[in-house]
Chains A and B, each alone.
Chain A
Amino acid sequence: NAGVTQTPKFQVLKTGQSMTLQCAQDMNHNSMYWYRQDPGMGLRLIYYSASEGTTDKGEVPNGYNVSRLNKREFSLRLESAAPSQTSVYFCASKERGAVVFDYGYTFGSGTRLTVV
């Protein structure tokens, strides 16, 4: 039971560099999400994908792009990293269930990104 797998777990970038955070889930979930978490700020939604082929902006999308490659994979790209993007990034997935049988989000283990 892999659940949600994120890679890499740690990354250090220089300002202006680009990188892609990878996320894959093996639970056949329709919806996938990218969050960032900063001290005192809680989890903030960057982008989400309600289903394969669709993506939508969340609360803090500036500086990021996403790709829902297929039902399993949802990647997050930083085109030109900035120190303000230093954060812990979590990918999550969720199945659309009936209210009474809703099991919530399943999170990956996170990517700790530092931009210097």
Chain B
Amino acid sequence: QKEVEQNSGPLSVPEGAIASLNCTYSDRGSQSFFWYRQYSGKSPELIMSIYSNGDKEDGRFTAQLNKASQYVSLLIRDSQPSDSATYLCAPRPYGNNRLAFGKGNQVVVIP
């Protein structure tokens, strides 16, 4: 089982709607997670980090972590065309574990 699973199929949302992205992970030792945004042809950039169960809000972005169920999600409210990108989930490394990114969730916001 891959360490981090994301559904990489494109998610199309109309402008102004909520985009919901999910990420599941297999390592119960993972304590915190990062969400990165990657525009086509560009390098990933950090948009959110979360380390506690529950929700963390930052502007239009909300990250949710559920350690018991081993999933982390990202909500993008009031989606804008500029949010069209691929969103990557990654656990924070700890100890000697090897780092893993999910394949990403592609989001397309339709004006």
A residues near B (Cβ < 8 Å) are 31, 33, 35, 40-45, 48, 50, 56, 58-59, 90, 94, 99-100, 102-110
Contacts and interface: CB of A to CB of B under 8 A. Distances in A.
B98 A42 contact: no
B71 interface: no
A90 B100 CA distance: 14
12 contacts: A40-B103, A41-B103, A43-B101, A50-B96, A56-B96, A99-B31, A99-B92, A102-B49, A103-B46, A106-B46, A109-B42, A110-B42
Contacts of B98: 45, 48, 56, 58-59
B44 A102 contact: no
Contact of A42 (B34, B96, B103): B103
A42 B43 contact: no
B45 A107 contact: yes
B73 interface: no
Given A48-B99, A99-B32, 10 more contacts: A35-B101, A41-B103, A90-B44, A99-B51, A102-B32, A102-B49, A103-B46, A103-B49, A105-B44, A108-B43
Contacts of A108: 43
Given A59-B100, A104-B34, A43 B88 contact: yes
Contacts of A59: 98, 100
Name the 10 nearest CB pairs between A and B, nearest first.
Answer: A42-B103, A107-B43, A43-B101, A104-B46, A104-B34, A99-B51, A99-B32, A107-B44, A110-B43, A109-B43
A43 B89 CA distance: 10
Report which residue of B6, B49, B96, B102 has the largest number of chain A beta carbons within 10 angstroms of its beta carbon: B49
Nearest to B6: A42
Contacts of B100: 45, 59
A36 to B, nearest CB: 11
A99 B29 CA distance: 13
Contacts of B51: 99-100, 102
A25 to B, nearest CB: 13
A45 B88 CA distance: 14
B80 interface: no
